[in-house]
Amino acid sequence: MRRQLREEPLSNHTSFRIGGPAAFYYEPETREEIRDLLLQCKEEGIRTAVIGNGSNLLVGDKGFRGAVIRLGEGFGAIETDGNRLKAEAGALLAKLARTAANAGLSGLAFAAGIPGTVGGALVMNAGAYGGEMKDVLESAELLLPDGSVRHFTGAELELSYRHSNIPELGAIVLSAVFVLQPGEKEEILAEMKRYAESRREKQPLEFPSAGSAFKRPAGDIAARLLDTAGCKGLRVGGAAISEKHAGFLVNLDHASAADVRAVLKEAADRVEAQSGIRLEPEIRFLGEF
């Protein structure tokens, strides 16, 4: 076991830099340790939550009264085999995209700026710039609640916009295989550079956040609706809708989870009053609020 801690502040493990403590916090080094932890917690009636980079997550101010299992550096291996990449769940998407580009493989440039892990990206079918994980996923290796391991195709995981059935399965992503297309290394790297420049220009990267605050509604764009409803700069406590990009909710100054939830509600209320559309949070919630 790489780390095992009691009452570990989860603000140390999320991109929002918000959240109370986990009663138990583990960073396993092997698959066997993950399986044994899950089975032990199940036997003892302890709730579990698995996190990667914590980049799309809001943890409650009271923390999580259970066991948090983080798949990090010990699960970050990436292998190239022809036009396929196999990546462990803890591999960072940015590293996956760079590995693909350096191998002259096209299809993952969209992922270069997403600050998450492979496992987390599959759980929510992460995407950007017109690409998403389901476009390139061949199969994923999941650890099921009974301790067994099974391979699932993308179709079996029911990937759709910011959704998979992995949470419903109660499963943990261990690894995934991606099928890519041959491409020119320099062209792929140039595409990644354009996306990076666009992010720096348009997104509030200087503040802690969880990325896009709301999912894209059918036929529209969340940021446009938020801007039209006058939500830019909307602030409660230390949390606010970014002045730079209305789609981002940022931690300006020691925000609490309660601050974030209040901003989310007020922003959604304003948009609904103005357009009749109720925005759904893209941020995932964990713990007691």
Q: How many beta carbons lie within 10 A of that of residue 239, not counting itself?
A: 27
| Gap between the Cα atoms of 117 and 77, Å rounded | 12
Ramachandran angles phi, psi of 239, nearest 5°: -110, 145
Q: Which of 106, 212, 242, 256 is catalytic?
A: 212
Catalytic residue status for 284:
no
| 162 counts as catalytic | yes
Q: Are 37 and 9 in contact (CB under 8 A)?
A: no
- What is each CA distance from 25 to 63, 217, 264, in whole angstroms? 11, 35, 28
Residue whose C-alpha is closest to residue 241's, from 211, 202, 277, 267: 267
Smallest Cα–Cα separation from 242: which of 287, 185, 204, 197? 204
Q: How many CB atoms lie within 10 A of CB 266?
A: 15
Strand partners, 214: 281
| SS3 category, 24 | strand
Which residues face 48 on adjacent strands?
67
Q: Tell me the CA distances in angstroms from 197 to 16, 95, 128, 201, one per residue in order.
A: 22, 18, 14, 6
d(CA 47, CA 174): 20
Q: Of these residues, 35, 70, 98, 162, which one is catalytic?
A: 162
CA 101 distance to own-chain centroid: 22
Options 8, 88, 141, 282, the catalytic residue: 282
Catalytic residues: 162, 212, 282
